[in-house]
């Protein structure tokens, strides 16, 4: 796998992505329902941004807008500049070249993104060849095996011929990350990539995302409802609620010194290390949002 950062070049430089005044709405019986409102954020080249918020806060709509994949009926305004180009100005063929190639997405449920009737190798090869005209099957297979090695799937040369059901949930997510990686994307958007996985596997996948980011220089947007997850991976965090930005700042600051009440409530739901037994204690009580904050 080639790396995109030059030796000695700073990993974090100018902006990879710049979002300004992003507003997304759906027409409803009583006017437009704005599910994302006036959102601003930046992602530096090689940076990692966490977008956190409860269900329905507009996280996925924001990422779909970046891919220009909003559902039919969605209205979008504002500006999304990816590597200096305004995404809204790109025509569909140009956008198709960006999607999957320069921006890769990883979703929560790898099983629904993988076709059960084809081996994982065939699917990685197919995805790769659809973005690289003229690549032979043999060359694509080599890329697939290398990508699987990159995500630490042992015995990749053999596993490449296995079907999705022959992998565990965590391994399937590695396959999806391998598929994304094979494209050498400049930006990886991971929408709740570890929500369906148990805690140990979740930690391994997060470590892998961090490793990939460091090795390839790709930018990362990690979307989750779980502040503990982003605090491990992101340098910058955007907290969203009801389509609006609640708070934005360096991950460490948000984690240690949240300015907004809502962020504090999200933090209260974060599992903490129990010193006595040295094990992860998962919060069993859901966060109660006080009436006045709803
Ligand atoms: N096709 C649609 N038509 C109308 N409203 C929609 C449509 N798709 C999503 N929405 C609304 O947009 C809002 C934001 O949805 P979004 O999927 O971005 O939330 P989210 O933060 O990703 O939540 P989750 O954590 O559950 O994935 C929700 O209130 C949702 O009901
Ligand atoms: Mg979502």
Residue 21, judged by CB atoms within 10 A of its CB (0-12, 13-18, 19+), counts as: exposed
Q: Is the CB of 244 under 6 A from ligand 1?
A: no
Q: Is the CB of 60 under 6 A from ligand 1?
A: yes
**Phi/psi at 72 (nearest 5 deg)?**
-55, 140
CB atoms under 10 Å from CB of 278, counted, come to 7
**Could you tell me which residue, 275 or 187, shows the higher pLDDT?**
187
CB atoms under 10 Å from CB of 277, counted, come to 8
Residue 293: per-residue pLDDT: 56
- Tens-place pLDDT, residues 162-177: 999 999 999 999 999 9
The answer to whether the CB of 128 falls within 8 A of the CB of 144 is yes
**Could you tell me which residue, 279 or 74, shows the higher pLDDT?**
74
Residue 289: per-residue pLDDT: 54
Residue whose CA is closest, atom 22 of ligand 1?
Answer: 60
Residue 7: per-residue pLDDT: 44
- Of 183, 122, 175, 185, nearest to 151 by C-alpha is 175
Nearest ligand to the C-alpha of residue 191? 2
Integer Cα distance of 104 and 66 in angstroms: 11
Q: How far is CA 90 from CA 67, 100, 218, in A?
A: 11, 15, 22
The DSSP H or E segment spanning 147 is helix 137-150
**Which ligand 1 atom lies nearest to the CA of residue 24?**
12
- Tens-place pLDDT, residues 115-165: 999 999 999 999 999 888 899 999 999 999 999 999 999 999 999 999 999
Å from CA of 61 to ligand 1 middle = 6
CB under 8 Å to 76, separation ≥6 — which residues?
Answer: 22, 23, 24, 65, 70, 88
Q: Is the CB of 10 under 6 A from ligand 1?
A: no
Residue whose CA is closest, atom 28 of ligand 1?
Answer: 56
Q: Is the pLDDT of residue 192 over 90?
A: yes
**Phi/psi at 232 (nearest 5 deg)?**
-80, -25
**Which ligand 1 atom lies nearest to the CA of residue 243?**
14
Extents of the domains making up the chain? 103-184
The DSSP H or E segment spanning 176 is helix 169-182
Q: Name the class of domain 103-184.
A: alpha beta
CB atoms under 10 Å from CB of 220, counted, come to 25
Mean pLDDT value of segment 50-60: 95
Å from CA of 35 to ligand 2 middle = 12
b/e 197-210 (16+ beta carbons within 10 angstroms → b):
beeebbebbbebbb
The answer to whether the CB of 37 falls within 8 A of the CB of 23 is yes
Residue 241 C-alpha from the chain's centroid: 18
**Phi/psi at 82 (nearest 5 deg)?**
-110, 120
Integer Cα distance of 249 and 79 in angstroms: 21
3 state DSSP class of 146: helix
Helices 169-182/120-131 angle, 10° precision:
20
**Residue 246: band (very low, low, confident or very high) from pLDDT cuts 50, 70, 90:** very high
- Tens-place pLDDT, residues 20-39: 999 999 998 999 999 999 99
Q: Is the pLDDT of residue 42 over 90?
A: yes
Mean pLDDT value of segment 194-218: 90
The answer to whether the CB of 82 falls within 8 A of the CB of 98 is yes
Q: Is the pLDDT of residue 280 over 90?
A: no
Work out the end-to-end distance of the chain between its first and last CA atoms, rounded to an integer number of angstroms.
47
Q: Is the CB of 163 under 6 A from ligand 1?
A: no
Question: What percentage of the chain carries pLDDT values higher than 90?
Answer: 68
């Amino acid at each position: 796998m080639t790396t995109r950062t030059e030796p000695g070049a700073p990993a974090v430089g100018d902006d990879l992505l710049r979002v300004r005044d992003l507003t997304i709405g759906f027409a409803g019986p009583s006017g437009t329902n704005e599910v994302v409102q006036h959102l601003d954020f930046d992602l530096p080249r090689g940076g990692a941004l966490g977008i956190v918020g409860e269900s329905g806060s507009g996280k996925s709509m924001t990422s779909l807008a970046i891919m220009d994949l909003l559902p039919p009926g969605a209205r979008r305004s504002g500006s999304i500049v990816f590597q200096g180009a305004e995404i809204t100005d790109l025509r569909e063929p140009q956008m198709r070249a960006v999607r999957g190639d320069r921006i890769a997405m990883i979703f929560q449920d790898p099983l629904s993104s993988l076709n059960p009737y084809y081996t994982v190798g065939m699917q990685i090869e197919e995805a790769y060849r659809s973005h690289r005209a003229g690549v032979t099957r043999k060359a694509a297979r080599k890329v697939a095996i290398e990508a699987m090695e990159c995500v630490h799937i042992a015995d990749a040369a053999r596993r490449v011929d296995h079907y999705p059901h022959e992998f565990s949930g965590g391994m399937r997510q590695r396959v999806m990350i391998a598929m994304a990686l094979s494209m050498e994307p400049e930006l990886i958007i991971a929408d709740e990539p570890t929500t369906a996985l148990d805690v140990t596997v979740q930690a391994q996948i997060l470590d892998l995302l961090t490793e990939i980011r460091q090795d390839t220089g790709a930018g990362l947007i990690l979307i989750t409802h779980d502040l503990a997850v982003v605090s491990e991976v992101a340098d910058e965090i955007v907290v969203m609620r009801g389509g609006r930005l609640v708070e934005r700042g360096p991950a460490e600051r948000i984690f240690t010194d949240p300015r907004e009440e809502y962020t504090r409530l999200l933090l209260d739901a974060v599992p903490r290390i129990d010193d006595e037994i040295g094990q992860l204690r998962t919060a069993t009580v859901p966060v109660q949002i006080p009436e006045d904050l709803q």
